[in-house]
Amino acid sequence: MDDLASLLHGRYGLDLKTDAPLNPTLQSILNHRSCRSYLDRSVDDELLQVLLACAQSAPAKSNLQQYSIVVVRDPDRRSRVADLVPGLSPWFEKAPVFLAFLGDVRRIRRLAEKRGHDYANNNADTFMNAAVDAALAMQNFIVAAESAGLGTCPISMIRNRIDEFAEILNLPDGVFPIAGLTLGWPDWGGMPSVRLPQSIVVHHETYDDGALDTEIEAHDDRAHDRKPIKPGSQRHTDRYGVLEKCTWSENATRQLSEPERAHFTAFLKSKGIELK
């Protein structure tokens, strides 16, 4: 088992002293890294069933469980999904399992009709609850999968061409994609991404980002030292150009300088989901 100081250094790029206890669950979580290289090896149905049970063990708002999961093993269907997102092949199709985590308000609507009750919560709060339910289930699945030695990679880009993705999975009204997830046996260990330090993310008692400017510069240097952002991964180079040192904050703000998935609200409305 790696020692805790090494794990924390891997996560933050900082030397942090701690006497806190370490157990296999903490080790697995702190060691998380996205996996984009998979062995040609299937995932056993019984193991997948347990992992899905772990996903369903996540907290759910008021126990409403407003999410669904679609498991895709069929190579042709996975290939159709990969075609929607340039850059995923060939590693995406090598993963033996693809899962779609979905917000699902359809189920409760159907049950309300069955029970003879009005459904009075077609609103932004219910959308958020369903999205959070699905995200918590996916995170539980990731933790469980990695504890079993499997690798995963979340994929939000399935929402880039959301109508076509919904058609591939035959998603009805009231059901919307949150993210996809590849699953398989890792062919490469990868490395942890350097995360923002707790001095930026964690606030005590009240929100205070007064130290952001100084803290972010140090974080950018640590992240660059660990894994420089290559020209091919720099965002919107046609507008901003290619930098020899493109930092995390530069690339993140480049990314969000142009609208992303502007059609998402229209898709939700087409599925009978309001954001009032």
Looking at the structure, tell me whether residues 148 and 187 fall in a common domain. yes
- The residue among 175 and 85 whose pLDDT is bigger is 175
String of DSSP letters for 188-235 = ----PPPPPPHHHH--SSS---TTHHHHHHHHHHHHHHHS---GGGST
Looking at the structure, tell me whether residues 182 and 240 fall in a common domain. no
Residue 167 inside a domain? The answer is yes
Q: Provide mean pLDDT across the span 69-88.
A: 92
Asked if the model's pLDDT at residue 235 lies above 90, the reply is yes
> pLDDT band at 129, cuts 50/70/90?
very high
Q: Provide mean pLDDT across the span 146-161.
A: 95
Where in the sequence is the domain holding 218, given as residue range(s)?
198-255
Q: Which of 162, 190, 147 is nearest to 55 (CA)?
A: 147
Looking at the structure, tell me whether residues 81 and 126 fall in a common domain. yes
Asked if the model's pLDDT at residue 239 lies above 70, the reply is yes
Looking at the structure, tell me whether residues 187 and 202 fall in a common domain. no
Q: Provide mean pLDDT across the span 54-82.
A: 96
The residues near 55 (Cβ < 8 Å, ≥ 6 apart) are 69, 137, 138, 140, 141, 144
Looking at the structure, tell me whether residues 109 and 184 fall in a common domain. yes
pTM, 2 dp:
0.95
> pLDDT band at 11, cuts 50/70/90?
very high
- Dihedral of CA 115/120/124/129: which sign? negative
pLDDT of residue 1: 52
CATH number at residue 169: 3.40.109.10
The mean-pLDDT minimum among 54-63, 181-190, 206-215 falls in 181-190
Residues paired with 156 in a beta bridge: none
Q: Which amino acid is at 100?
A: A
